[in-house]
Amino acid sequence: MRVQVFAPPFCDHSVLDEGGELTLPEGATLGMALKRLKVPPLAGRLLITKVNYDRAPRSRKLKDGDVVSLLWPISGG
């Protein structure tokens, strides 16, 4: 199964292909995707997680073609 991922710079982007997609086993959860992206534990607690542009818990099961967005709530200006 492949999902499109939009992730902050501190994630491990080397696991994504050139199109920004992550390959996961069928039945994978959002939490498994975060683990695969090597999201640091402290950052993981602060991230806003979305699947198909709706907020989603880490227990959410992903489907082929889903769009996963990881938003960092802290920004500067």
pLDDT per position as a tens digit, 19-69: 999 999 999 999 999 999 999 888 888 899 999 999 999 999 999 999 999
Q: Residue 71: is it exposed, middle or buried by C-beta count within 10 angstroms (0-12/13-18/19+)?
A: middle
Tell me the per-residue pLDDT of 10-20, one tens digit each, with 9 for 90 and over: 999 999 999 99
76 falls in which pLDDT band (50, 70, 90)? low
Q: Residue 55: is it exposed, middle or buried by C-beta count within 10 angstroms (0-12/13-18/19+)?
A: exposed
Report the alpha-carbon distance of residue 32 to residue 25 in Å, rounded: 10
Average pLDDT for the chain: 93
DSSP letters along 38-56, please?
Answer: T--HHHHHH-EEEETTEE-
- Domains of the chain with CATH codes: 2-71 (3.10.20.30)
